[in-house]
Chain A
């Protein structure tokens, strides 16, 4: 019995190994062919480093089919992780997808190539709202791809009426039925804007005011939650949640007529994730091919159809097949709603004030 059992385990281990061996051989061939071809300037592979869920498979397979270039996509969970990997200089990535403030940080560290506009076709397709942004003058290092907002998701049945802004999240009526995003800068958006302050402030006094405000809010909250708040609002276990727009919010709204996503009357914020070329890439040609491919309206439209995210490509809007998503405020808030929305940018040295306050809030 014992020997048989051991044999069986040995067999599973070897079969696993065999599976692993073919897996590793295929991946090693793809990576080795990548390095050799790039040395010869053959450009047969492209390594993309992006947020999970922001590049639909249809975009990747379409690009591979059109250009014959093999794409590997790796995903990161935060801009900070991505930056620390690229900072080694040996990451091997060609295209990277930083958020707006990360573009600033990466330009400061010389991690991104300047984009040569003469090599681009379709730059005019981009929504003018995202062109020449505050974090990257003249789009010298980044081309906007996806965008979204930070707003409020609420369940009307639970709240008993419409929610209009951050101020509602300080209403003791909803005590124990509210969630804030478990993310420092996102939480401060509400804490600052509810007092009429800018969400991008770097003034110590403003940030301390926001800290006090958030401390006062904490007893009313069910918690800080970035994972399943949309499900909780959908099921009615929570009434209101600070929420990102996009896939999760769209799903919650689509599955329950009582659930709404709004931009708060105090403003809310905007984010964009852009494509940039990694400084020192050996696959320049393929990288520009990627940029040009993703600038195409019919390709950018797939981001909404297959990824439930808003595209920064204005020409793509008419190509979106899923019109309910194109009209959903959880994906595309109206221009009027966005009028007061602020871009979150790198707080620079003021970051320590935010961190100090956040520590206090977390500990309270």
Chain B
């Protein structure tokens, strides 16, 4: 039985990592067709760094991701703080309302956002993209932070009060330091959700704000280029760097 589990585990690992390894390997493939490997080249990386239009979409995605995640994490923090620590009237209603964007199909949200923005006379662009992404990342950011807040031991703040701390000091010196990992987790989760989004972006992007996933998806018609493998490899590297920086242990604690 143990051996079976061990093998199952190995196979699952291979299955999960083959696509990532393949992207890295193919990014150095000299041939422009994927079924043939004709040698090692860095040609696609050179091409990538000269492809200003593609890099612009990467920048758009990064900007939108950071801005949307910051907003979502901030609003999510306040919402979770209120709902987890105070007796708010209509708590169940608010909780349900937060979940709705998770349940409603994204395409419905996208279409209605497009409609609302155009009715309001807001031209599609960076602003609408960020707002659209806040809609889908807010529930995630709120839920992650709420989980951490409800599991906080209430006796900690009681003890702090006993020792003469006022509300602000308790928040700054006791609660926030304990909640920081969950804030970080909420931010990262929001960022990856925003960064890979296609549906909402389709309806909220505008002049000069095509995001990276939109660009890749629309390239399917004329064919994907190995340049995209190079870009994928760099993104994998970047992700690895973040994971190392955050610390594997830290991540484990956040996810636990």
Q: Which residues of A are at the interface with B, using a C-beta cutoff of 8 A?
A: 1-2, 5-6, 8-9, 12-13, 16-17, 19-21, 23-24, 27-28, 30-31, 34, 47, 51-54, 57, 60, 72-77, 81, 84-85, 88-93, 226-228, 230-232, 234-235, 237, 244, 246-248, 251-252, 255-256, 307, 309
Contact = CB atoms under 8 A, between A and B. Distances in A.
A21 to B, nearest CB: 8
Contacts of B247: 1-2, 5
B198 to A, nearest CB: 9
B207 A92 contact: yes
B51 A57 contact: yes
A23 B62 contact: yes
A72 B207 contact: yes
A6 B180 contact: yes
B190 to A, nearest CB: 12
Given A5-B247, A23-B60, A251-B32, A52 B208 contact: no
Contacts of B245: 5, 8-9, 12
Interface string B24-46: 00000001111110000000000
Contact of A53 (B67, B124, B222): B222
B215 A52 contact: yes
Contacts of A88: 114-115, 117-118, 124
Contacts of A20: 59, 62-63, 66-67
A34 B206 CA distance: 13
B contact patch SS: helix
15 contacts: A23-B63, A47-B208, A52-B219, A53-B221, A74-B208, A85-B206, A88-B115, A91-B207, A92-B206, A226-B220, A227-B220, A246-B222, A248-B222, A248-B223, A256-B33
Contacts of B31: 255
A333 B221 CA distance: 19
Contacts of B53: 57, 60, 73
B222 A52 contact: yes
Contacts of A47: 207-208
B66 to A, nearest CB: 5
Contacts of B222: 51-54, 246-248, 307, 309
B196 interface: no
Interface in B102-148: 111, 114-115, 117-118, 121-126
A17 B218 CA distance: 27
